[in-house]
Structure 1
Amino acid sequence: MASATGSAFDTETLRRGIEGNSNTLLSLYADDAEIRIVDRDTQPSHPKVLHGRDQISQMLDDIYGRDMTHKLDQCVVQGDRAAYSESCEYADGVRVLAESMITLRDGKIAEQLIIQAWDE
């Protein structure tokens, strides 16, 4: 996988971050990044919204502190936009799928929309 033209965003760094290192993943976000999360609990009219790297770091610490695996399935980068699919599995076999659409600024993630679903 290659980096987006004219930016420092690198999908291989994204893969390394998703598949094992929350600090690597956090390094891809702009200081003022915003994440909106839509799922069963936080529906489209009231998504969970995280502002800035501090809140994003807290979320990543929570997620990567769980007994689960993460895999980057696909990633497409075009200019200042990217989209990727991620699959996760808890130790008990519960699976999670997440789709992200991101906006890049100076090679960093400035905005991200995550839509996720999991086994019940």
Structure 2
Amino acid sequence: MGTETGSAFDTEALRRAIEGDTGDTLLSMYTDDAEIRIVDRDSQPSHPTVLHGRARIAELLDDIYSRDMTHRMEQCVVQGDHAAYSESCEYPDGTRVLAESMVTLRDGKIADQLVVQAWDE
């Protein structure tokens, strides 16, 4: 599951960041002008939630990592300047969240991310 040859993107660093206690390390993996698009039940494909820049991404990560839940990176594949990964999360009451991300990389950092997520209801 290591880094693809020639790529500056470190999948083990991504795992540690996702599975960490705060979003700070994960935030450092984004470019200053990064964009995240989130698609889920409330933000459907024609109207995704769109976050521009590290400040907005920091707000999202602060919210996520302030919750009592676990995060685990399931898989990650890197090919050239793209990566895809699966993340599973669980709240203490057993509620689960599954997120699939496709990212575009620039200089070893995430420049663009599409997240499709589903929650237990």
Equivalents in 1 of 2:88, 2:42: separation in Å? 19
Equivalents in 2 of 1:114, 1:100: separation in Å? 5
Residue 96 of structure 1 corresponds to 97
RMSD: 0.9
Per-residue CA deviations over 1:17-68 (Å, capped at 9, x if unaligned) read 1001411111110000000000000000000000000000000000000000
State the shift of 1:3 in Å. Answer: 2.1
Count of residues in correspondence between the two structures: 120
CA contact (8 A) 1:5 1:79 kept: no
Report percent identity of matched pairs.
77
Compute the TM-score of the two structures, normalised by the length of structure 2. Answer: 0.96
Map 1:81-120 → 2, pairs under 5 A: 81-120=82-121
In structure 2, list runs of 5 or more residues that go unmatched: none
Q: Once superposed, which parts of structure 1, at least 4 consecutive aligned residues long, lie more than 3 Å away?
A: 4-7
State the shift of 1:6 in Å. Answer: 3.4
CA contact (8 A) 1:72 1:87 kept: yes
In structure 1, list runs of 5 or more residues that go unmatched: none
Residue 16 of structure 1 corresponds to 16
